[in-house]
């Protein structure tokens, strides 16, 4: 199947991506469950060397998007094009086992939970060396040298390689995960809530490390988080997700200055600021109600029951993600027409 090639600046192009879990009866004598539409018609691109932030609240499907891009799950519908290091474009959504196996060297993941993402029964040498072994890159003393180099790179002492993960704090374990992800010199790393479980001072250290590594190796990041201040700090462009849909995609500054979707506005307004005087002066938008269930989203625009600007059309018709301003996309019937408040 011919794949439309990506230009040299683009690393990933996701088009109309959907993932539904469950649905039809899964096995013999088992009961049918309603399908959970975790990801619905998501489209965006990631440029080479940039950090793309994906924000959203729990159940928004942001983690699922990352896992689909790395093909931890099978894709229900849509296409994920990836530009390989040799310049050829591949379609990941339909890639076969062998093809994926080779591609895994070029894309890696950092997990949220630094405790469960490292096998407690393996030493640092085994953990960080595993990708090298699997892909036959190095073995023996060469492997040890490479692991020592990787550990040094993330600020851990190479002498630690005989230790097990239980010897390390959360922040250090996260660094072990980063070293493992870097082992095969990937082009792309998806960081799924990589610093959310850490204390602020430790999170800051690891964020700086990730940015240094990006500079050093020209990495492209997909940075998934629910922390808007963090995503603003690290991302060049941001996608905002809500109930499996991408509500807005835009470069960071313009989005925070002047959001194009009412949900983005509400999110920005909800973040408590470490500035007591400003908090008092600010009028916050209080969203009514709760996040809808992904197995039973509302008709029309998924955000309409909570949207302060909702009109009749919002209840009836689901808007498309469209380019409302140059390079800025919004899934709102009134994108560009409303005057929404940003964070500045």
Partner 1 sequence: MTDTTLINPTPVDTNDAKEALYRATPRQLMWWRFRKHKLAVISLCVLVFAYLTIAFAEFTAPYDPYEITEMATMQPPQPVHLFDEDWNFQGPFVYGLKRTRDLETAAVIYTVDTDEIVPLRFFVEGPEYLFWGLIPGSIHLFGAEDPDARIYLLGTDTLGRDLLSRLIHGGRTTLTIGILGVFFSFLIGITLGSISGYYGGRTDGAIQRLMEFIRSIPTIPLWMGLAAALPVEWDPLFVYFLITILLSLISWTHLARTVRGSFLSLRGEDYVLAARLLGASEKRIIIKHMLPAMTSYIIAAVTLSVPEMILGETALSFLGLGLRPPVVSWGVLLQEAQSLRVIVQAPWLLLPGLAIVIIVLSFNFLGDGLRDAADPYGR
Partner 2 sequence: MTEDTPLVEITDLGVEFRLREGVVRAVDGVSLHVRKGEVLGIVGESGSGKSISVRSIMQLLPKTAVLSRGSVLFRPPGGGEIDIAKLDRKGRDIRSLRGRHIGMIFQEPMTALSPVHTIGHQVMTPIRLHLGLAKKAARDRARELLQLVQMPRPDQMLDAYPHELSGGMRQRAMIAIALACNPSLLIADEPTTALDVTTEAQILDLLKSLQERLGMAIIFITHNFGVVADIADRIAVMYMGRVVESGPVDDIFESPQHPYTRALMASVPRLGAERRRRLTTIPGMVPDPFELPRGCSFHTRCSEMVEGVCDRLDAPLIDLSGGRNVRCHLHSQNQTGGPNAG
Give the binding site for partner 2 (CB under 8 A): 57-58, 169, 171, 199-205, 207-208, 211, 226, 228-230, 232-233, 252-253, 256, 266-277, 279, 284, 286-287, 289-291, 342-344
Residue 103 near residue 43, CB atoms below 8 Å: no
180 contact choice in partner 2, partner 1, none (CB below 5 to 8 Å, kind-dependent): partner 1
Measured from the CB atom, the residue of 11 and 128 that comes closer to partner 1 is: 128
- Choosing from 77, 134, 270, 316, the residue that interacts with partner 1 (CB under 8 A) is 134
Round to whole Å and give the CA distance between 63 and 166. Answer: 26
Length of the chain (residues): 344
Site membership for partner 1, residue 118 (CB under 8 A): yes
Provide the total of helices (H) and of strands (E) in the chain, helices listed first: 11, 12
Quick one: which of 109, 313, 296 has its CA closest to 219? 109
Q: How far is the CB of 30 from partner 1 (least distance, A)?
A: 6
Measured from the CB atom, the residue of 65 and 307 that comes closer to partner 1 is: 65
Site membership for partner 1, residue 147 (CB under 8 A): no
Measured from the CB atom, the residue of 184 and 209 that comes closer to partner 1 is: 184
Q: How far is the CB of 311 from partner 2 (least distance, A)?
A: 21
Round to whole Å and give the CA distance between 197 and 46. Answer: 26
Q: How far is the CB of 209 from partner 2 (least distance, A)?
A: 10
Round to whole Å and give the CA distance between 226 and 57. Answer: 6
Q: How far is the CB of 207 from partner 2 (least distance, A)?
A: 6
Site membership for partner 1, residue 129 (CB under 8 A): no
First to last CA, the chain: 47
Quick one: which of 303, 296, 223 has its CA closest to 266? 303
312 contact choice in partner 1, partner 2, none (CB below 5 to 8 Å, kind-dependent): none
Site membership for partner 1, residue 91 (CB under 8 A): no
């Amino acid at each position: 199947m011919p794949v439309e090639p990506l230009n040299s600046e683009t690393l990933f192009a996701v088009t109309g991506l959907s993932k539904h879990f469950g649905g039809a009866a899964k096995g013999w004598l088992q009961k049918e469950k309603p399908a959970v539409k975790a990801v619905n018609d998501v489209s965006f691109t990631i440029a080479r060397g940039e950090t793309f932030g994906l924000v959203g609240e729990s159940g928004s499907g942001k983690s699922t998007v990352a896992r689909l891009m790395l093909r931890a799950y099978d894709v229900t519908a849509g296409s994920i094009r990836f530009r390989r290091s040799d310049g050829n474009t591949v379609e990941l959504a339909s890639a076969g086992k062998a093809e994926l196996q080779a591609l895994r060297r070029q894309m890696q993941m950092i997990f949220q939970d630094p405790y469960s993402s490292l096998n407690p029964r393996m030493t640092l040498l085994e953990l960080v060396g595993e990708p090298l072994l699997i892909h036959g890159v190095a073995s023996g003393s060469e492997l040890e040298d490479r692991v020592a180099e990787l550990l040094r790179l993330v600020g851990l002492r190479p002498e630690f390689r005989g230790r097990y993960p239980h010897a390390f704090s959360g922040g250090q374990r996260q660094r072990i995960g980063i070293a493992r992800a870097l082992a095969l010199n990937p082009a792309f790393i998806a960081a799924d809530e990589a610093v959310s479980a850490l204390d602020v001072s430790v999170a800051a250290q690891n964020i700086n490390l990730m940015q240094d590594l990006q500079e050093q190796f020209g990495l492209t990041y997909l940075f998934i988080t629910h922390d808007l201040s963090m995503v603003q700090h690290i991302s060049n462009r941001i996608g905002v997700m809500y109930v499996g849909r991408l509500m807005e995609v835009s470069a960071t500054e313009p989005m925070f200055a002047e959001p194009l979707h009412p949900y983005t506005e509400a999110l920005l307004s909800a973040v408590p600021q470490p500035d007591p005087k400003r908090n008092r002066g600010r009028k916050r938008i209080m969203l009514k109600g709760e996040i809808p269930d992904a197995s039973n989203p509302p008709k029309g625009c998924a955000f309409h029951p909570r949207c302060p600007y909702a009109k009749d059309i919002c209840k009836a018709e689901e808007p498309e993600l469209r380019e409302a301003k140059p390079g800025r996309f919004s899934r709102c019937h009134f994108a560009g027409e409303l005057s929404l408040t940003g964070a500045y």
